Amino acid sequence: MPTTGNSIRHLSLSVASAFAFVACAPGPQPSGTPGPTRADVAAVDPVRAAAAARGAFPTGWRFEPGEDATFGEHAMVVSVSRYASEAGVEILKAGGNAVDAAVATGFALAVTSPSNGNIGGGGFMTIRLADGRTATLDYRETAPAAASRDMYLGPDGKLTNKSTVGHLASGVPGSVAGMAEALAKYGTMSLAKVMAPALRLAGEGFLVDSNFSSGGQCNRLIAQFGGKELFCPGGQAAQPGTLFRQPDLARTLSMIAAQGPKAFYEGPIADSLVAEEQRGGGIITKADLKNYKPIWRTPVTGNYRGYTLITMPPASSGGVTMNQTLNILEQFAPLPPAGSAAYAHVVAEALRLSFMDRNAKLADPAFAKVPIAELTSKDYAKTLAAQINRNRASKTPAFDPGKEPEHTTHYSVVDAMGNAVGTTTTLNGGYGSGVWVRGGGFFMNNEMDDFAAAPGQPNMFGLVQGEANAIQPGKRMLSAMSPTIVLDPNGQLLMVSGAAGGPTIITATMEVILNVIEHGMTLADAMHAPRLHHQALPDQLDYEQRGLTGAVVDSLKAMGHTVGTRASLATVNSIMRVPGGWHGVGEPRARGVAVGY
């Protein structure tokens, strides 16, 4: 679905145009100032943008090049839910900054996108303020104190499904503490103020829209636990156009708004959460909740051909693996055209090498020595690039891949001052563990599956990970979430991007950024272009159905690649600076909604 918003829509512009008009970088402008005109576009580099899109969009691909983006003269919020994007814009228009708006959007997603928006999960936030300061906040879940290395293995030594379904699958949630911490440090408004839209949406209800109704509320996962009556009454999910109210969640949110995160971690919500855990054999205790702390971390900062990427360090692998891959690719720059076999090959080989390091070496830095500087160094990238044969695929051992459900959500925010926030948050699988906290009104995560529950065996994303990411009490499970802010070669804010999709988060976020800064596409084309994915294991280059031509697929096979198709790869939500304002593009494969003004 194309992105829409309450802002004016206008013709997309290439990134080249963004540089040509650096003097027009956004800021408060007289209302009614028109966006760029077709003449502006003609004056910059439409030829390069159109050529890149033509090559990357094969005949039969599900999208056409040249779609519009949503234009906002001052500010932009992009998320998977119209209500949540509008909540962010409501706070911006009330005088809030990008952090205020991000927290408002995050709480609203917990109401209107409950399969992935959450207060029962965790996430990561990347912030870049207009004055140049940067910060990354890790509010990933932690393993409960009673967790142990082999807790998900059956008597036969094989993985059970307890790391994905039910009460034992949850890590200690970080979302409420994380959002409150970000607000306290960089926001300007009270928790009550930024939570007001979410509270309203939960208490007064909202009209079910396609994003909400596509969430599959009547699935077998939810039916096993307490959320069935609310989300699937009489076996029927709420239909589009009907009013959906969540009184339990409204009460929970109002307690958090009034009392702060203590209500969640030590007060009545903690009581409900622990009672729910005990009902189903879970191990999260009041002490686990009380001890939970979000962590400010030094961002991973990379450089690709003059562009700066500010992104997430471990406990997410996203920033390290994306920068490592880009550093390898930089050795081959300028890269072959998007959509060609040569491009798919070199991207796949670079991803293979980075994911091999990711799966073996990255983990919670409090528990493992994580070689961030080495993995992201240009010298190391040179040694890896030298291992890539331009004509021949290398090999990693094959195994049976796991299944990949819907999960996770990313939202991007830019305010009128030029502050930027990218946030990715998750329950892991859609509706997490399926467990709905009775009385609390929210779903719990199944993030424990992101640990190497059985090192060497695949998790639900088919990822095979090593000992560094084995389960230990209090440890954060390795993530792929990659909220990323990109600066142009002049150090000006250019993009905010990030994705949902397990390990494909890293690839898709990188591809959208590469489509803009390497291939010169407009943001809309960069988002609509077909995507690729490789994660070392399984040893397979995946592409989106009809996203490569038959000839390109044949060439990749001839080079030795095992090639697979996916119906869709990742859900990205992005913002890019353009002359006179911002372009926002919500994920066209899902139901992303950009709202600007």
Question: Interface with ligand GLY by CB under 6 A: which residues?
Answer: 407-408, 426, 428, 450, 479-481, 502, 505
Which of 115, 408 has the CB closer to ligand GLY? 408
CB 212 within 8 A of CB 405: no
The tokens describing 298, both together, are 């030094």
Q: Cβ neighbours of residue 241 under 8 Å, at least 6 residues apart? A: 207, 208
CB 306 within 8 A of CB 489: yes
**Cα 531 → chain centroid:** 15
Shortest CB 264 distance to ligand GLY, Å: 21
Shortest CB 407 distance to ligand GLY, Å: 6
Element (H, E) at 287: helix 286-291
Cα gap 550→252, rounded to integer Å: 53
CB 164 within 8 A of CB 157: no
Cα gap 150→464, rounded to integer Å: 16
81: helix, coil or strand?
Answer: coil
**Strands of 163-299, DSSP E:** 206-207, 243-244, 295-297
CB 258 within 8 A of CB 192: yes
Which of 357, 450 has the CB closer to ligand GLY? 450
* Stated length of the chain: 597
Whether 504 sits among the annotated catalytic residues: the reply is: no
**Cα 363 → chain centroid:** 18
Query: Sign of dihedral through CA atoms 509, 330, 51, 56?
Result: negative
The tokens describing 84, both together, are 């949540």
Shortest CB 54 distance to ligand GLY, Å: 33
Nearest to 138 by CA among 335, 314, 399: 314
Which of 393, 478 has the CB closer to ligand GLY? 478
Cα gap 160→331, rounded to integer Å: 43
Which of 178, 502 has the CB closer to ligand GLY? 502
Cα gap 98→92, rounded to integer Å: 7
Which of 71, 139 has the CB closer to ligand GLY? 139
Cα gap 129→138, rounded to integer Å: 18
Instruction: Read off φ and ψ for residue 467, nearest 5 degrees.
Output: -60, -35
Shortest CB 538 distance to ligand GLY, Å: 17
Name the closest residue to ligand GLY (Cβ): 479
Which of 142, 426 has the CB closer to ligand GLY? 426
Catalytic residue among 408, 409, 423, 509: 408
Which of 17, 323 has the CB closer to ligand GLY? 323
Tokens 């989300």 locate to: 231
The tokens describing 150, both together, are 């082999």
The b-or-e profile of 492-514 (16+ CB within 10 A means b, else e) is ebbbbbbbbbbbbbbbbbbbbbb
Shortest CB 51 distance to ligand GLY, Å: 34
Which of 302, 483 has the CB closer to ligand GLY? 483
Shortest CB 32 distance to ligand GLY, Å: 43
Shortest CB 360 distance to ligand GLY, Å: 17
Shortest CB 408 distance to ligand GLY, Å: 5
Which of 193, 533 has the CB closer to ligand GLY? 533
SS (H, E, C) 542-553: EEECCCCCHHHH
334: preceding bond cis by omega (within 30 degrees): yes
Shortest CB 413 distance to ligand GLY, Å: 20
CB 204 within 8 A of CB 414: no
Residues with catalytic function:
408
